[in-house]
Copies of this chain bind each other. A is one copy, B any other.
Amino acid sequence: MPSKRVEEVQAAGEERSKRHERAQRILDAAANLIQRWGYKKTTIDDIARLAGVAKGTIYLHWKTREDLFTALLLRESMEASVDILERINNDPKGMFLSNLMKHGMYVIMTRPLAKALFIRDVEVLGELVRSGQEDIGLISQQKMIAGKGMLELLRSKGMLRTDQSIAIQMKMYNAIFMGFMTVNQYLPDELQLSLEESTESLAESIRLTLEPDKTVAPQVLQEVKATWDQLVQQMNKLLNERLQREIEV
């Protein structure tokens, strides 16, 4: 009886999607509360109440409180990555390192949780700053978006200087990036940068210090994009599997 089989599969599918939707709702609640009260002070009871489920339900999804928040941070990282990738894809010159960084900064700065994760905000993340470093912390994403492989690709296509070593270049763009991410907190009011100024200035700094002057043929740009897309898709697949596991338990 194939119809029976189909119905079963459909039912199971519906159920899986309801389950998934509920997990998302719980994570939404957790995201909301962690931004308001910080990790330390957001309790499972609060999350359950805000998500409209019973406390026990949360433990049907994650074994411990920490697991829940780990999943939340992983989801945030993934979503931010998707945003960044999308902005890069919509930018004809998105493949330049300067623009990769610009889009990265824009997205991270406009997502409070991603920002907290990136700058290791203890006020928000509490003890999680420790756990969420290498593993979750947008770092694997950064490696993907502008890792060593990417730099090599850009260099081979004349989109990055070759009179500096790759190692130094990585250190430089990290320093400059973090600089623009965090200066404002050290600057007096009259020198505060708006988000627009920050991202544009960041892009210009990266461009001037790491990219050569020569123009790049649209043809080449296309090639780079193609290669990069493969790279990203590969990584994305791995990360998505990880995400599923993390959220569903």
Q: A residues touching B (Cβ–Cβ < 8 Å)?
A: 119-120, 134, 139, 164, 167-168, 170-172, 174-180, 182-183, 186-188, 191, 193, 197-198, 201-202, 204-205, 208-209
What residues of chain B lie closer than 8 Å to A120, measured between beta carbons? Answer: 186
Chain B nearest CB, measured from A184 CB (Å): 9
Can you sample 7 A-B contacts with CB below 8 Å? A119-B186, A168-B197, A174-B191, A175-B201, A176-B205, A205-B205, A208-B209
Report the separation of the CA atoms of residues A139 and B182 in the bound assembly, to the nearest whole angstrom. Answer: 17
**Chain A to chain B: the 8 pairs with minimum beta-carbon distance, closest first:** A179-B179, A175-B179, A208-B209, A175-B183, A175-B180, A205-B209, A178-B179, A178-B183
What residues of chain B lie closer than 8 Å to A180, measured between beta carbons? Answer: 175, 179
Report the separation of the CA atoms of residues A201 and B177 in the bound assembly, to the nearest whole angstrom. Answer: 14
State whether A178 and B172 are in contact (beta carbons under 8 Å apart), knowing that A208-B208, A209-B204 are contacts in the complex: no
Report the separation of the CA atoms of residues A193 and B172 in the bound assembly, to the nearest whole angstrom. Answer: 9
Asked whether, in the complex, the Cβ of A172 is within 8 Å of the Cβ of B187, the reply is no
> Which of B164, B174, B186, B201 has a CB less than 8 Å from the CB of A172?
B201
Q: Chain B residue with minimal CB distance to A208? A: B209
Report the separation of the CA atoms of residues A179 and B176 in the bound assembly, to the nearest whole angstrom. Answer: 5
Most buried by B among A183, A188, A198: A183
Report the separation of the CA atoms of residues A233 and B6 in the bound assembly, to the nearest whole angstrom. Answer: 87
Chain B nearest CB, measured from A98 CB (Å): 11
What residues of chain B lie closer than 8 Å to A201, measured between beta carbons? Answer: 168, 171-172, 175
Report the separation of the CA atoms of residues A118 and B171 in the bound assembly, to the nearest whole angstrom. Answer: 21
Asked whether, in the complex, the Cβ of B205 is within 8 Å of the Cβ of A193, the reply is no
